[in-house]
């Protein structure tokens, strides 16, 4: 009782003093703790640490993490890792770099100047510096290991190296890896990544780098005078990256690459009901294996300076005039605005005067009288000049926008092109000129200022196939950790809806089937699968070879694939894109008939 | 009484100046010859800091009381601006650039928080929930803003300052334990809500031995550097391990290891002794001022001073996680140097005047 009373009446000043005394005692204890610890390190262990410090007997061996695999939808490996030997030196154990470098066998192909610089400028002299980029063969490795003592400071390291078994196939979409640069190091602070590490630079390797990267391990070791490990001080295993499963089917991808052949261009194949991409081809391409161990200067310059630009992904970044494939959008806009019906016809005499300019049809002499279906089937330009002028530029632009043109699709790849959707205000702003009737006529056949990417056109044709839905295209189905647990799954994402009535759809679909059965796309016709689609030929005023398009879907009555084929500056005077489409799809669906039940 | 105070102040001032001068000398020996520019910059900062120390020691206690909220407001604004500033060092946004001067608002936030907490908690008969709540409302924004930089070390400093000053202000013991328990539960439960990769980062932060390439390597090197100094050290300018750049951040985070290498256990004893003199004098000043604003603020400065010494040296010798908190009056860096010298100046000015 007495005690309690005392507590209650305690003078605040006294209470403060008592509490600060408690604090002070705590501080004294903390200082003692530090002193004991420092004393132990400096007096107890001091001799050992001095020895370690003065004789450079510590080494740091990084254990690189294998990158995650990239697999196609059926689990086929598109990017994997191979074990590879390399030779490195620990800078603090090298007395005379020149002597060491000269004594090492020639079969290592060491760049002596570069290696010497690397040894002298090493940030952490305990850490091995790699001397060579290429793998070393077993006989050289055995030779080195047998004569370890002759090469003090040299270590043989095993590490995983990226390998792409399909080489050039799907190179743009897989991408490649490369040494992390200063900007990446400072900008997005990928945990555990340091200078000299390899990170994704393009394609899936880049976009999903965070998942693929894995976590480096390392081993701190004490070594003897010859650099041989004596004792491990601390160790952490590397943890491999996660595996990325693509929606790509590598078999379809291979067929598409083969059929596009040596032509410049792109092929994109997707599922019209989900936006999943099944094949994405861009040609010319490159071999990502060149980058796997760090690309050589020579190869890099060659790829970078190639006028054909093999590093560019034409399917998502290439921007082209859509030409007659755009007529699908003009027709949809006209039907939905009730500016034309199935029966109405226009006369094509081979040319049309708009203002004071003459606009020609591709067919000299003209098509005669045509209704909308006929005009699509035979791709009549004069019909569409008149139709476009009737519905007006604003309506066309509105529908083009609804179909997803003029903006990036949002596919999971970097530096996607967004194309160009012109409008009167755009023209005034950028060209300082008013929009004329002639501009509308040009736009109606997909020429003039308008630019689209093949991937955007896949969205357009998919919307016709699926009844007007616009999906965000995507390449990755799921990401799975090394133990097989799904850590992220991707689902279709609808980003828009084109208002297309059932009657509009049926007219357009009938016409698109007609294009292949009896019209400009007849080269796509085959015995295996019915294809619907639209051709396009983007002409150039200067007499350059035109680009050739085919956008379509198959099977016609129950579409399971949408496809876009673009051939840049075609060499053949035929509708080559339609022919390529026919070959790809007949092989694909034909294979389906042989092996499993009919896909239709 | 009066004369003994006068002498107490001079002992403390001597200790502070001795540390500042020693830090410059030591920095010169390990930076020479190719990084001497660090030394010259630090000379300027120590100069500015000593000037501020002089000014602060002349100011009356009422001045700090008056400007507490204003200082808090300015620092709060600066901390918000830091988050939106471009450019980061090692992935963290800690610096604010005004003209050609960059500084770390989080350092000054430590003093600002001490002033505000002193004002709220001073001369209270009883520390009730309302005082706890109001003081938390001031501590919490700093904590969150600094944690978002991310600078978890400084965030913990704010938390400990708040707890420490509540304790000294005389919060009932049961209430104090309740708050400690709540904080513990909050930290533990928020951990379970984190994503796996965030957990991994925190684990690496708490247990860097698991990360032999990164912080684990720094720690091993730090131990080797410090330990290799032995009893008498390797001698002036002979801190080979530090100079060969085996030690990471030798001027800032791991300066103490290089002191141990160059000056040995004896040097370390002297440095820690000087720190202890300053803390002891600070505790006496605080005690004489009782639970007033002056007493609480001086105690706050001492808590801050002590915590940073303990965490930094603890990190160097491997008993605390790696946080990047500078060693007071030793580590290279303008904001920290100026802030601590200013804080020391405030301690002098806070003596009771008879």
Enumerate residues 36 to 55 of chain B having a beta carbon within 8 A of any beta carbon in chain A.
none
pLDDT bracket for residue B57 (50, 70, 90): confident
Per-residue pLDDT at B89 exceeds 70: no
Last residue of a domain, one of A205, A222, A246: A246
Contact pairs from chain A to chain B, CB under 8 Å:
149
Mutate to test the interface with A, among B34, B150, B208, B212 (most CBs of A within 10 A): B212
Q: Which two tokens stand for residue B276?
A: 């202890």
User: Does residue A11 sit at the B interface (CB-CB below 8 Å)?
Assistant: no
Indicate the burial class of A473 (C-beta count within 10 angstroms; 0-12, 13-18, 19 or more). buried
Same domain for A202 and A282? no
Tokens at residue A535, please? 């051709």
Question: Using CB atoms and an 8 Å cut-off, which of residues 186-215 of chain A contact chain B?
Answer: 186, 189, 191-192, 194
Is B201 an interface residue toward A (CB < 8 Å)?
A: yes
Give a yes or no: residue A18 inside a domain: no
Question: Can you read off the two tokens belonging to residue B247?
Answer: 């030690």
| Mutation choice for A interface testing from B209, B227, B257 by most A CBs within 10 A | B227
Please give the C-alpha separations between residue A274 and each of A205, A247, A415, A463, in angstroms, as whole numbers: 23, 11, 22, 11
Token pair in block for residue B2: 């009066």
Q: How many helices (H) and strands (E) does chain B have?
A: 13, 2
Give start and end residues of each alpha helix (H) in A121-248.
Answer: 138-146, 171-174, 182-187, 203-207, 209-212
Q: Higher model confidence: residue A586 or residue A50?
A: A586
Task: Give chain A positions within 8 Å (CB) of B310.
Answer: 30, 34
Q: Note whether B328 contacts A: Cβ–Cβ < 8 A.
A: no
The two tokens of residue A516 are 């292949």
Are A152 and A76 part of one and the same domain?
Answer: yes
Which member of B224, B280, B286 has the closest CB to residue A49? Answer: B224
pLDDT at A247 over 70: yes
Same-domain check for residues A203 and A271: no
Put simply, whether B334 touches A (Cβ < 8 Å) is no
Report the CATH number at residue A394.
Answer: 3.40.710.10
Q: Which of A35, A41, A54 is facing B223, going by the closest CB pair?
A: A41
**Chain A residue closest to B318 (CA)?**
A37
The whole-angstrom distance between B101's CA and the closest CA on chain A is 21
Tell me whether residue A28 is in a domain.
no
Q: Are residues A240 and A341 in the same domain?
A: no
How many angstroms away from the CA of B274 is the closest CA of chain A?
12
The band of A203, judged by pLDDT with boundaries at 50, 70 and 90, is very high
Both A492 and A515 in a single domain? yes
A455 is a domain residue: yes
The residue out of A222, A246, A270 marking a domain boundary is A246
d(CA A385, CA A388): 5
Contacts of residue B54, Cβ cutoff 8 Å, sequence gap at least 6 = B345
Distance CA A580, CA A526 (A): 11
Check B212 against A218: CB less than 8 A apart: yes
Inter-chain touch B216–A50, beta carbons under 8 Å: no
Looking at the predicted structure, is the pLDDT value of residue B320 above 50?
Answer: yes
Angstrom distance (rounded) from CA A376 to CA A324: 9
- Helix (H) / strand (E) element for B262: namely helix B255-289
* Whole-number pLDDT of residue A269: 97
Q: Domain check: are A223 and A257 in the same one?
A: no
Q: What is the DSSP string of A228-242?
A: -EEEEEEEE--BPPP
Q: Pick from B220, B276, B319: which is nearest to A31 by CB?
A: B276
Question: Which residue of chain A comes nearest to B230, CA vs CA?
Answer: A42
Q: Are strands A217-223 and A229-236 parallel, antiparallel or unpaired?
A: antiparallel
Q: How does DSSP classify residue A370? A: E
A317 pLDDT higher than 90: yes
d(CA A459, CA A494): 11
pLDDT at B199 over 70: no
Structure tokens at B275: 């720190």
Q: Which residues of B touch A10 (CB under 8 A)?
A: none
Residue B214 CB neighbour total at 10 angstroms: 18
Chain B interface, mutation test: which of A38, A229, A486, most B Cβ atoms within 10 Å?
A38
The residue behind tokens 């154990």 is: A93
Give the gap in angstroms from C-alpha A62 to the nearest C-alpha of chain B.
7
B195 touches chain A (CB under 8 A): no
What pLDDT is stored for residue B87 in this prediction? 57
Out of A149-158, A455-464, A583-592, B243-252, give the one with best mean pLDDT. Answer: A455-464
Are B283 and A189 an interchain contact pair (Cβ–Cβ within 8 Å)?
no
Confidence of residue B354 (pLDDT cuts 50, 70, 90): very low
Q: Please answer yes or no on whether A48 and B245 come within 8 Å at the CB atom.
A: no
Return d(Cα A264, Cα A469) in angstroms, integer: 30
Q: Say how far apart CA A449 and CA B106 lie, in whole Å.
A: 54
E-strand ranges in chain B read: 96-98, 101-103
Last residue of a domain, one of A230, A246, A262: A246
Number of folded domains in chain A? 2
The mean pLDDT value for A575-596 works out to: 83
> E strand or H helix at A107, and its extent?
none
CB contact under 8 A, A30 and B217: no
Hey, is the C-beta of B239 within 8 angstroms of any chain A C-beta?
no
- Among B86, B20, B76, residue whose Cα is nearest residue B343: B20
The answer to whether A62 touches A218, Cβ cutoff 8 Å, is: yes
Rounded CA gap, A371 and A350, in Å? 16
Identify whether A13 is part of a domain: no
> What is the C-alpha to C-alpha distance for residues B238 and B261, in angstroms, rounded to an integer?
8
Q: For the segment B32-47, what is each residue's pLDDT rounded down to a tens digit?
A: 777 888 899 999 999 9
Asked if residue A265 and residue A241 are part of one domain, the reply reads no
Contacts of A93 in chain B (CB under 8 A): none
C-alpha distance from B4 to closest chain A C-alpha (Å): 19
Phi, psi of B19 (to 5 degrees): -65, -45
pLDDT reading at B3 higher than 50: no
Quickly state the pLDDT bin for A206 (edges 50, 70, 90): very high
Give the model's confidence band at A191: pLDDT under 50 very low, under 70 low, under 90 confident, else very high. low
Q: Is B178 left (phi over 0), alpha (psi -120 to 50) or beta?
A: alpha
CB-CB under 8 Å, B230 with A47: yes
**Are residues A60 and B299, on separate chains, in Cβ contact within 8 Å?**
no
**Mean pLDDT over each residue of chain A, to the nearest integer:** 87
What local confidence, expressed as pLDDT, does residue A86 receive?
77
d(CA B338, CA A89): 44
Segments forming the whole domain that contains residue A326:
250-295+315-595
A21 falls within a domain: no
pLDDT of residue A555: 95
pLDDT tens digits for range A222-243: 776 666 667 777 777 788 899 9
Q: Please indicate whether, in this complex, the C-beta atoms of B224 and A219 are within 8 angstroms of each other.
A: no
Is B293 buried (19+), middle (13-18) or exposed (0-12) by CB count in 10 A?
buried
Minimal CA separation from A497 to chain B, in Å = 35
DSSP string of A431-486, one letter each residue:
HS-PPPHHHHHHHHTT-TT-BB-HHHHHHHHHHHHHTSEEE--B-EEEEE-TTS-E
Q: Decide if A15 is inside a domain.
A: no
Taking every pair of C-alpha atoms in chain A, what is the biggest distance, in angstroms?
A: 120
Is residue A196 domain-shared with residue A72, that is, in the same domain? yes
Q: Which of A34, A182, A188 to mutate to test the interface with B (most CBs of B within 10 A)?
A: A34
Residue A467 lies in a domain: yes
pLDDT over 90 percentage in chain A: 62
Question: Is A38 in contact with B314 (Cβ distance < 8 A)?
Answer: no
Residue that has been written with the tokens 């928080």 in this structure: B113
Interatomic CA distance for residues A80 and A66, integer angstroms: 9
Indicate whether A588 and A448 sit together in one domain.
yes
* Best to test chain B binding among A41, A61, A197 (most B CBs inside 10 Å): A41
Among the partner-chain residues B164, B214, B291, the one whose CB lies closest to the CB of A12 is B291
Please enumerate in sequence order all residues whose Cβ is within 8 A of that of A515, keeping only pairs 6 or more positions apart, or say none.
A376, A377, A379, A521, A532, A533, A534, A535
Give the mean model confidence (pLDDT) for residues A76-85: 89
CB within 8 Å: B265 and A30? no
B320 close contact with A: CB closer than 8 A: no
Q: Clarify whether residues A451 and A519 are in a common domain.
A: yes
Residue B265 is nearest to which of A13, A39, A49, comparing CB atoms? A39
Contact status of B150 with chain A (Cβ, < 8 Å): no
Q: A255 and A230 share a domain? A: no
DSSP states of A286-312: --GGGGTT---HHHHHHHHH-TT-TTS
pLDDT over 50 (residue B268): yes
If asked whether residues A279 and A218 sit together in one domain, one would say no
- Domain CATH code at residue A191: 3.90.1310.10
Highest mean pLDDT (candidates A321-330, B81-90, B225-234): A321-330
Q: pLDDT value at position A1?
A: 39
User: A4 lies in a domain?
Assistant: no
Q: Do A48 and B227 touch (CB under 8 A)?
A: yes
């Amino acid at each position: 009782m007495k005690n309690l009373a005392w507590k209650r009446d305690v003078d605040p000043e006294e209470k403060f003093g008592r509490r600060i005394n408690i604090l002070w005692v705590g501080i004294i204890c903390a200082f003692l703790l530090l002193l004991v610890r420092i004393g132990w390190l400096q007096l107890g262990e001091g001799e050992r640490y001095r020895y370690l410090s003065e004789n450079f007997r510590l080494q740091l061996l990084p254990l690189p993490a294998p990158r995650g695999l990239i697999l196609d939808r059926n689990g086929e490996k598109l990017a994997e890792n191979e074990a590879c030997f390399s030779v490195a030196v620990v800078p603090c154990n090298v007395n005379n770099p020149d002597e060491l470098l000269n004594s090492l066998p020639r079969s290592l192909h060491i760049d002596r100047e570069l290696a010497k610089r690397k040894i002298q400028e090493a940030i952490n002299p305990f850490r091995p510096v790699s001397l060579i980029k290429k793998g070393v063969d077993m006989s050289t490795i055995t030779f080195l290991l047998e004569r370890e003592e002759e090469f003090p400071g040299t270590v043989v390291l095993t590490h995983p190296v990226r390998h792409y078994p399909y080489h050039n196939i799907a190179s743009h979409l897989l991408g490649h890896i490369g040494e992390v640069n200063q900007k990446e190091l400072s900008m997005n602070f990928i945990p555990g990544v340091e200078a000299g590490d390899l990170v994704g630079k393009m394609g899936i390797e880049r976009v999903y780098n965070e998942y693929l990267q894995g976590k480096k391990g390392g081993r701190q070791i004490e070594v003897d005078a010859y650099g041989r490990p004596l004792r491990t001080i601390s160790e952490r295993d590397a943890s491999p990256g996660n595996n990325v499963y693509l929606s790509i089917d590598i078999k379809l991808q291979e067929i598409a690459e083969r059929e596009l052949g040596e032509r410049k261009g792109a092929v994109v194949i997707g599922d019209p009901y989900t936006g999943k991409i099944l094949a994405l081809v861009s040609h010319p391409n490159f071999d990502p294996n060149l980058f796997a161990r760090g690309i050589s200067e020579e190869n890099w310059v060659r790829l970078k300076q190639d006028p054909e630009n093999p590093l560019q992904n034409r399917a998502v970044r290439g921007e082209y005039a859509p030409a007659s494939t755009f007529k699908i959008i003009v027709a949809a806009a006209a039907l939905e605005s009730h500016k034309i019906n199935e029966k109405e016809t226009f006369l094509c005499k081979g040319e049309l005067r708009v203002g004071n300019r003459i606009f020609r049809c591709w067919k000299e002499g003209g098509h005669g009288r045509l209704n909308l279906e006929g005009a699509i089937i035979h791709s009549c330009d004069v019909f569409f000049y008149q139709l476009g002028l009737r519905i007006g530029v604003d309506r066309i632009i509105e529908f083009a926008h609804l179909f997803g043109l003029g903006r990036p699709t949002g596919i999971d790849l970097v530096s996607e092109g967004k194309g160009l959707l012109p409008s009167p205000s755009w023209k005034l702003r950028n060209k300082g000129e008013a929009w004329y009737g002639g501009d509308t006529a040009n736009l109606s056949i997909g020429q003039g200022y308008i630019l689209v990417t093949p991937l955007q056109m896949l969205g357009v044709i998919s919307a016709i196939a699926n009844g007007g839905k616009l999906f965000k295209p995507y390449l990755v189905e799921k990401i799975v950790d090394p133990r097989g647990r799904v850590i992220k799954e991707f689902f279709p994402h609808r980003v828009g809806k084109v208002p297309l009535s059932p009657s509009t759809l049926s007219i357009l679909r009938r016409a698109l089937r007609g294009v292949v059965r009896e019209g400009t796309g007849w080269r796509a016709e085959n015995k295996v699968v019915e294809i619907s689609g639209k051709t396009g030929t983007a002409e150039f005023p200067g007499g350059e070879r035109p680009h050739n398009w085919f956008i379509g879907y198959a099977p016609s009555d129950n579409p399971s694939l949408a496809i876009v084929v673009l051939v840049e500056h075609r060499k053949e005077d035929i509708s080559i894109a339609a022919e390529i489409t026919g070959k790809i799809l007949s092989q694909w669906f034909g294979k389906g008939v042989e092996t499993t039940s009919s896909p239709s | 009484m009066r004369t003994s105070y006068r002498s107490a102040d001079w002992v403390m001032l001597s200790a502070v100046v001795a540390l500042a001068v020693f830090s410059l000398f030591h920095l010169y020996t390990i930076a020479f010859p190719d990084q001497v520019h660090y030394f010259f910059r630090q000379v300027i900062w120590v100069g500015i800091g000593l000037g501020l120390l002089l000014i602060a020691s002349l100011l009356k206690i009422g001045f700090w009381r008056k400007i507490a909220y204003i200082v808090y407001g300015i620092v709060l604004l600066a901390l918000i601006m830091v988050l939106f500033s471009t450019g980061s060092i090692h992935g963290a946004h800690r610096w604010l650039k005004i003209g050609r001067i960059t500084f770390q608002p989080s350092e000054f936030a430590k003093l600002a928080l001490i002033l505000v907490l002193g004002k709220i908690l001073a001369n209270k008969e009883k520390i009730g929930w309302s005082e706890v709540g109001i003081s938390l409302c001031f501590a919490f924004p700093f904590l969150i803003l600094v944690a978002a930089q991310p600078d978890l070390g400084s965030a913990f400093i704010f938390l400990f300052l708040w707890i420490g000053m509540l304790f000294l202000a005389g919060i009932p013991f049961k209430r104090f334990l309740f708050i400690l328990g709540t904080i513990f539960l909050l930290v533990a439960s928020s951990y379970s809500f984190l994503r796996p990769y965030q957990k991994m980062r925190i684990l690496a932060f708490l247990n860097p031995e698991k990360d032999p390439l990164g912080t684990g390597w720094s720690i091993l090197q730090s131990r080797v550097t410090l330990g290799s100094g032995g009893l008498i050290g390797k001698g002036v300018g002979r801190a080979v391990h530090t100079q060969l750049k085996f030690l990471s951040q030798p001027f800032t985070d791991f300066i103490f290891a290089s002191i141990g290498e160059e000056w040995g256990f004896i040097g370390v004893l002297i440095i820690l002794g000087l720190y202890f003199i300053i803390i002891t004098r600070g505790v006496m000043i605080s005690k004489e001022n009782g639970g007033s604003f002056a007493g609480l603020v001086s105690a706050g400065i001492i808590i801050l001073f002590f915590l940073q010494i303990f965490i930094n040296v603890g990190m160097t010798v491997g008993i605390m996680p790696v946080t990047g908190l500078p060693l007071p009056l030793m580590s290279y860096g303008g904001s920290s140097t100026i802030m601590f010298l200013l804080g020391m100046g405030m301690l002098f000015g806070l003596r009771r005047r008879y």
